[in-house]
Amino acid sequence: MIKQVSSEFFNSVPLDSGVLVKNWDKDHPDTVTNAMIVTATTGDFNIASVPTASNLFDDVNGVPVGSKEGYHVDSMLHTIGVTALNTTLETIKLALGTADIDDTTGSVTPRIGRPKSTDFVHLTWLGNTADGGLVAADLNDALSTAGLTLTTTKNGKGTFPLTIQGFTSIATPNVSPVSYYVFKADTETNTEGGETPAG
Amino acid sequence: MNKYQALQYFWSLFEWKAYNELTVPSDAMEKNNNRYITYESATDSYDNDLLLSASLWMRSTTWTEIHAKAAEISEYIETQFPPAIPIDGGFLKIRKGTPFATDAADDDPDIRRVRLNIYAEFLTAY
């Protein structure tokens, strides 16, 4: 009877919600400055890579339905979702996706049609694991696909959902929109000073 | 370290002597420069958040210093304490409870007490 898991199981458990940052450098994963943080958030992050698949052999006579040989991933949707708190020009533009900031007037104007290359941003979700390591979901060309829905409430905080999707490029079709990273802690936390309680 | 040592370790991070609340010496105030911490000792395992209390005790005629200590502990938990600390069999995760700090009365008017609440989750299999 298997009833217990090894203590090693807990090393890689992500703890707390993490943070959404811009311009993260995977070669310096621990370097996160306040300026990199996109927005304060509340609640859960939802990081998803969801495939759309078909089975090429399901209609072939004599082949069982659902064969692994026929399974084909047609596409994959990569998203980061969270509820954001900060209403700045940058975060409003981020939520709108295709929009233009005018610093002189302090405005953000939505735009329809094809996105500009500058609409796509490099965004990364970073989270800590129990053993002090780091896990990251890195979107190279990210664009909001859900628009802006700002909800405010009497005596409460205004929030808006943020859904960021990673996009691939025709120019680099084999480059995945997302990369997931797991970094182990460099050193063990020195907690050998745990004295036995008195009494 | 075991779970009990981990709680002792945590409450000993703040420069005040920390005691399991069930074993506080009668001269604790005098021995420790008129200030110390007592904490509730309880343990569990994975997926069970424990609400644990502790108290800051101080002999003083003002609340200033004890409030500053409570604020220091609050900031430490939020900004400096690791996501979890390794213990025998896994990790201990600590976060602030609600309300985090509450002033409490004592029969002695020169005793100041602040009750603290934390959530502790022992990420262990048993």
Q: What pLDDT does A104 receive?
A: 95
Mean model confidence pLDDT for chain A: 91
Confidence at residue A195, expressed as pLDDT on a 0 to 100 scale: 55
Q: What confidence score (pLDDT) does residue A161 get?
A: 96
ipTM exceeds 0.90: no
- Given a contact cutoff of 8 angstroms between Cβ atoms, the answer to whether A18 and A134 are in contact is no
Q: Which among B9, B12, B20 is the nearest to A199, CB-wise?
A: B20
Taking chain B (126 residues) in runs of 10, the rounded mean pLDDT of each run is: 96 97 96 97 93 97 97 94 90 95 94 97 91
pTM of the predicted model as reported, rounded to 2 decimal places: 0.83
Nearest CA to B11 among B62, B52, B65, B44? B52
A188 pLDDT exceeds 60? no
- Provide the pLDDT for residue A193: 46
- Per-residue pLDDT, A119: 96
Interchain proximity B82–A189, CB inside 8 Å: yes
Which residues of chain B have a CB within 8 Å of the CB of A15? 83-84, 93
For position A2, what pLDDT does the model report?
A: 67
Tell me the per-residue pLDDT of A139-149, one tens digit each, with 9 for 90 and over.
Answer: 989 999 999 99
Q: What is the pLDDT at residue A88?
A: 96
B93 contacts chain A (CB < 8 A): yes
Specify the pLDDT at position B80: 86
pLDDT digits 0-9 by tens, A70-129: 999 999 999 999 999 999 999 999 999 999 999 999 999 999 999 999 999 999 999 999
Best mutation target among B48, B91, B121 (most A Cβ atoms within 10 Å) is B91
B46 inside 8 A of chain A by CB: yes
List the structure tokens of A119: 């609409």
At A2, list the tokens: 């298997």
- pLDDT at residue number A123: 97
B19 — contact with chain A (CB < 8 Å)?
yes
pLDDT at A192 over 60: no
Percent of chain A scored above 90 by pLDDT? 81
∠ CA A165-A138-A185, rounded to 5°: 150
DSSP A146: S
Q: Span A35-52, mean pLDDT?
A: 96
**Residues contacting A115, CB < 8 A, separation 6+:** A97, A98, A143
Ramachandran area for residue B96 (φ above 0: left; ψ -120 to 50: alpha; else beta): beta
